[in-house]
Each structure stands twice: as C-alpha cells, then as structure tokens.
A and B are shown apart, each in its own frame.
Chain A
Amino acid sequence: MARIRIEGLSKVFGATRAVDDVSLDVADGDFLVLLGPSGCGKTTLLRMIAGLIQPSTGRILVEDRDITYLPPRERDVAMVFQSYALYPHLSVERNIGFPLRAARRPKAEIAARVREVAAQLELDGLLGRRPRELSGGQRQRVALGRALVRDPRAFLMDEPLSNLDAKLRTATRTELTALHRRLGSTFVYVTHDQVEAMTMATRIALLDGGRVEQVGTPTEVYDQPASVFVAGFLGAPPMNLLPATAAGRGGQVVVTADGVEIPLWPGGADPTEVTLGIRPEHLRMLPAGAPAPVGSARLAGTVTGVENLGSEEVGWLAVGAASAASTDRKGGTGGDAASAAVAVRGPRPLGLAIGDRVALTVAPEHVHLFSRDSGRRLAWRPDAKVPHPSRPVELTTSGA
C-alpha cells in the first residue's frame, strides 16, 4: 500500500539518456502501466524504482519517504522479472518462501504462508518441484507467489507475460487484474503490449525515447492522444496520420490534404501545418456514386488491400496523389506523387475490393490534430471575444 512519486528522474548510460527527466505520481492502489516500444526506458525506470539501478538525477518517494538511494532490500517492494528469476536450485516451496526466510521469520509461519499463497495460485501440488520441472505458466505463477508471499508495499512487474503463449497470456491478464482488485496495492507494470496496457491499467504512462509522452487512463490515452507518438502507438491498426493544413475558409476551419477535405467547426485560422489523425474505426464509407453531402468531411482514395480479421475487416487505401486523377482538388503539388496509406476498419464485410475508388467521411469530433513541429495535440479554443471576424483565432497547443 503505497503512493510512489517520481520526480525529475533521469538515467544516463554513457552518451544515451535512457530515462530523461521523468516525473510520475502513482497513487496508492493504482495499476500503472509503463508502455512503450523497445528501448524507450520503461524497464530502466522500473529498475530504478526497484533500486537495481541508481538514477543519475532526480528522486523517488514512497509515501513521502525519499528512497532514491535505499538498497533494494530496504524498499519493501516485490518484483516479477521477465525471466521470472526463479532460483533454479530451490523447490517451489523454497522459492516462494525465500523473502520470508530472508526476513528470518519462524519456519512454521513461512510454511503456513507459502501454503496459503500456493493455494491462491493453484500451485498446491507443485511445492516440491524444481523450477525446471514446471511449465512456463506455472513458473510465472511461482514468480508471482514469491512476490505475494510477504505483502509488499508495491508490486513491480517487468513484462511478466511476454514468455507465455497467447491463450495463457489472456487468461493471466484477467487473473492479474483480479489480483490487483483483490489486493488493492500499487502495481507498476512494464510492457510493450498495448492490449495488456489497455486491459489491465488504471493508468497508462506512454514513454518514448526516455520521456513520458502522456499519462492517463486507457480511455484518455486512446481517445485523446497527447502526441503523434501516442496516436501512432495505440490501436490496431494505429491512428491514420496524414500531413495536412488547417485554415479558415468561408467562416469555417477546414483541414485539407491531398485527397482530403474536412470541414471542422465555425471559426477562422491562419493556414497551419498540422498532422491529421483519424482512427480507422471512425472512418465511414460514403455510398458509391452518391455525391458527398455538402459540408461533410471527405477522403478519397483507391483500395490497395483488404485484411480479414474474422469479426472485422481492415481496408487499406491510398489517399492522395496516386488517386489524384479523378479527385477534384484544387492546385496539385505537381512533383509530389506520394500518397498516404489510410486504414479503415469496420464490421465484415466492408465491401471493398482492390482497385476500388472509394470516398470516406468522418465526424468532426473524431478528428485529431497535432502540431507538425512538436507533434503535440492541438486543441480548439473557440474565442467568442474575437474583435474582428476577419482576424483568425490561433490553434493552440494543448497541455497534455
């Protein structure tokens, strides 16, 4: 039971900043998932919380106590390693009981507690076995048992499911969530798997290049990605991201790109270079042949591929230059023949065939805009007090 605060934590290995000025506040009872691609610093961050790596700068507080330079054994946190790190020479019983033995608890108490934990994890019959005589799933549970046996202040987990097969991973995910709910303790969980993050976390911290890109509930990070990185990391397939221009036109803010025209809301703005983001599942197909309703968003492209996911289908479209021939757009870019790949996801069948020319639309509330320079999310602040209608309202970078 503990609140963990990380303040300005950095770790420098030679010339690389593995963790770069990270600040996080993990509330008591949170299930915080550190999510990011390989090499984003999530494991280094976790190991610093565990005390296995000393930070270069910054500090770590548990319940207002500075533990930055405390050795691991005095931190009272438990950790499940990716490799499980079960002591190969000890039986399951001795493995689970190890933390209590280190704490010099009486033998009878250790035995009773180990049996209790083993029963919880359905390891009863395996107490006499050595780790090498266990299956991957059983080893994972023993590693969990070793963490559970002494009621630590927080649980740290470093990709604990990555060595399990897909079916077992799904089952264990549910078990871990249930365990977290039952214990109510603080969990810090490292993974690169967005499904694990979305399904288990109460909060997700997305990391890239050692920096925190966004912290929020799964819903927040998915529905309001704070940066292009977050938008492009979450979702399968991830959010479609297209270079585009947002500008005021005829009293409306309109986002345009090659083959794309999306009127958003009333207002005016100087032409701004943006990255346009739309989730594949938010794109709707316009009936073939029918003219698009006036004033509605429109993306035109050619189908380049269709993937059958069983329950759903993903269609891949080339939007822009390649399909420019019959797209009515004003002022082509000439030499730029690149088209953007756009995915559309929906219930099967989507009714798409390779080579089809299709038009898509999207509701304005499902349009995400990001600054082309910083990659941060842009929010619209309608300003009623604009003195002159002609003067554009600026798109502002929203705070994460």
Chain B
Amino acid sequence: MTSPDGSRTKDLTLGKDDLLHLYRQMVAIRKFEERAAEQYAHGKIGGFLHLYIGEEAIAVGAIDAMEDRDHVVTHYRDHGYAIALGTDPRRLMAELFGRSTGVAGGRGGSMHFADPEHNFWGGYAIVAGHLPIATGLALASQYLEQNYVVLCFFGDGATNNGAFHESLNFASLWKLPVLFICENNQYGMGTAVEYASAVREMAKKAIAYDIPAERIDGQDVLEVREAVKKALDHCRAGNGPFFLEALTYRFRGHSMADPEAYRTKEEVEEWRREDPILRFRGKLLAEGVATEDELNAIDSEVDAQMEEAVRFADESPVPDPSTLTDYVYTEPVAVR
C-alpha cells in the first residue's frame, strides 16, 4: 500500500470548505518545508533548519480546533504552527533568509518564529524551556480572567527534562488552562524513545500529576482536531490542564545536518505510508468530498504561494546594521 485510501482516518463530519481548508493548511506546511530545504541547499538559509514534514496533521488539527483568543507556545520545530495560524509565509521565509521583513526581523531565525498578531508566542530552542513559559501565560489568563487556553507543543524528548515535570506539577496544582501537546515522533534528535525514557507512553507521565491524558493518532488531522477541541473545553471550563500525546514521525532528519544513522530506511518507509496528507487526501477522494482535480488545484495554488514566499524573501533587505543593539533593553541603555 503506497497510496492510502484514508480508511483509518476519522469520519468526515465537517463541511467541504472546512475539510479542504485542513487539506490546504497541511499542504502549505509541506511545501513551505520543501522550499526551505531547497533554499538551505542553495545556501540561502544558515544555521539549523528543523523540518516538520510528516507531522503536519498535529499543528493543523490542533490549531483548527482553537478559538481566536487562545494562544500557542512551541518548541523550535516551529514553522508548521506559524503557517497553520495564518502567518504570511513570505514573512516566515524571510526570517529563514535572515531578512528584516521576517517575523522576528531576522533576529530569530528558524527556531524563533513569533507572531503575536496571530497568537503565536514563539518557538523556543532550549528543549522543554518553553513549558514553564506556556504555563505562566496560562497563569496570566487565569489571573486576569481572560479565559484563553494556551496550547503548548513539545516533543517526546522534552518529557525527560526537569522543566517538563516542574511545569506539569504547577499547572495541575494551580489548575491552569494549558493544553500540553506532546508530539511523540519517537526520537529525541537521534536517540530513540526506548533509550531515553523509562516510560514509553508519554501520557502516563501526565497522569502522575493528576492531569487527564489521552494518546491519539497524530497522523489523522481529524482525530487531532476532535481531541484538541474536547481538551480545550476541559481547560476552558476551569478544570486545569489537559495532556495529549500525538503519535507521529518525522520523515526528514532532525535537522538538515542529520545523516540519520540511528534509524533504518525500512522504518522511515513504513511511516511514510502513514503520511498525514496522503491519508487525508485518500479519505477526501474515497468519500467523494473532492475530486483529484480540485485537490491538485489546491496543490498548485500553494506551490505558487511558496514560490512567491521565496521570491519575497530573496528580494527583502538584510537587517540594518544600525539596529544591532535595538531591543536588548526596552529603554535605551548604552551597549558596548
């Protein structure tokens, strides 16, 4: 089976427009990442580049379930969330290119996208370092009675870090409205879960803190969406945090510098059959929601959009050197 028929995908309960929106968002992430990889190979992008290919259903399903007032805090594999939240891909590609038009003005790079206008509170690059921050943002929601929920995304590797455990304890103790979403892609960089975690099911770790938890299929955008909706209701009702473990797989290396010596080609091939986009596409076709032509048309539109993102980034100016010391402090301080 190389072209899934979508039979293991949740039943379609959304209208056609909503379904096609989910499809478009996943394709947008995939194609953005493919263009980013290509531009990295061309030397247009420096440093680290961590691609989200294979995991698209999680960002898209979760963010589609959010309300406008909810907020997102993530780890450094952060391109997918920004796209799903609606940030202009041109500004994202420009950030990768280190240009002043980027979402962080060229100061952040791949790992530090942010877009407060779209409720994106940043990608953070110290593994598990953003969990306390997301929990603190949820404290602000509770304290100021703003009733938003914070969606906090992280990988399986983060669950072995002290910041994870301290944050879950705090969130549960103070009943904070934060939804922890663990993307279990089964490797912390190149170390497989079985060599890093005494507990293979990450959801069990949440139960230790009395946080309700569920394990879901991270390759099924509809299952993710439904689970996140329920979890958000739980958090918004004042019941405290919720924990979702989404099983997934990263199709590409950890970063562009990864020779992937730690896993077999067969394993990667097996998971590629669980491609979230192909599965969802198969379902849409099998159920007669859309035709091949309609889906191909979306693919082409996204292609053009990403082509434009690359052009925009390439033509954008680099940051003005005179701004180097801006934003070290909020007020002028002499910087040597």
Q: Is chain B found bound to chain A in the same assembly?
A: no
Chain B interface residues toward A at CB < 8 A: none
